[in-house]
Amino acid sequence: MAKSDAEVKVLGTWASPFVMRVRIALNIKSVAYEFLQERLWEGKSELLLKSNPVHRKVPVLIHGDDTICESLIIVQYIDEVWPSAPILPSDPHERATARFWAAYLDDKWFPSLRAIGMAEGEDVRKAAIGQVEEGLMLLEEAFGKCSQGQAFFGKDQIGYLDITFGCFLGWLRVTEKMSGIKLLNEINTPALLKWANRFCNDAAVKDLMPETEKLAEFAKMLRGRVRATPTS
């Protein structure tokens, strides 16, 4: 049996943007998989702890006897095992650019988005919003360069950077709703605003993008639990 025919499982949660990346990648490749829902607020499952002992986080991809962790590493793995409908560009320089912005999103941009929701004090909140907006302007410019006039960062199809960034749209919309600020807007990020709609309507994405209302409720519940947890 070819490796690509072995059973595929995804361990994750509906609310996690990182898990969504993996599921979109599998959808793009038309690969069937079993989704194992973790209930993280009830404690981590045996399977999670066993398959990701280093980080104990979702997503985890289980492919036959192999487990792969870290969403962007999983997406690249999926792209390499199932080479049809490529996710990463073929040109090495374009690949490096896609990887650069994906790392920026994970290491700088998303933490600053989360910081808005967790900010205690108006000054801290304003600073966090400023950082997110600054990041979005950089990404607007990157979109112009990567898309070369086409619909997506990946040009005519959704690709690595679309998936990396697009999966944060749910949480971006929740943050907009809770802060009352349109972070993606006509004035500063007109191209990204249109791209966001196209991304969410893509066939590989639309059944996976959580509803903003549902996600906002979930965020409130999470925040309640975090605040209730006693700290030493």
Partner 1 sequence: MAESNVKVLGTWASPFVMRVKIALHLKSVRYEDVEEDLLAPKSELLLKSNPVYKKIPVFFHAHNPICESLIILQYIDEVWTTSASTILPSDPYERSQSRFWAAYVDDKFFPALRRLVIGATEEDKKAALAEVVEGTVVLEGAFGELSKGKAFFGGDNIGFVDIALGSLLGWIEVIGKQCETKLVSEAKTPRLVQWADCFSAHEAVKDVLPDVDKLADFGLKLRAKILKALAPTN
Which residues are at the interface with partner 1 (CB under 8 A)? 3, 54, 63, 66, 68-70, 73-74, 76-77, 80-81, 92-93, 95-96, 99-100, 103-104, 138
Nearer to partner 1, 52 or 147 (CB): 52
Read off the tokens for 172: 């971006």
Backbone dihedral angles phi then psi of residue 223, each to the nearest 5 degrees = -65, -40
Half-sphere exposure of 31 (CA within 13 A, CB side): 28
- Cβ 201 to partner 1, closest distance in Å? 30
- Cβ 94 to partner 1, closest distance in Å? 10
How many residues belong to the chain? Answer: 232
State whether residue 189 is helix, strand or coil. Answer: coil
- Cβ 106 to partner 1, closest distance in Å? 10
Nearer to partner 1, 203 or 232 (CB): 232
Q: Is 171 exposed, middle or buried (0-12, 13-18, 19+ CB in 10 A)?
A: buried
- Cβ 171 to partner 1, closest distance in Å? 21
- Give the whole-angstrom CA distance, residue 173 versus residue 193: 12
Nearer to partner 1, 26 or 215 (CB): 26
Nearer to partner 1, 73 or 226 (CB): 73
DSSP, residue by residue, 132-159:
HHHHHHHHHHHHHHHHTTSSBTTBTS--
Nearer to partner 1, 143 or 210 (CB): 143
DSSP single-letter state for residue 105? I
- Give the whole-angstrom CA distance, residue 57 versus residue 151: 33
- Cβ 63 to partner 1, closest distance in Å? 8
- Cβ 167 to partner 1, closest distance in Å? 18
Angstrom CA distances, 87 to 125, 156, 161, 171, stand at 36, 11, 9, 23
Q: Which residues have C-beta within 8 Å of that of residue 135, sequence separation ≥ 6?
A: 104, 108, 109, 112
- Cβ 18 to partner 1, closest distance in Å? 13
Nearer to partner 1, 71 or 175 (CB): 71
Nearer to partner 1, 95 or 198 (CB): 95
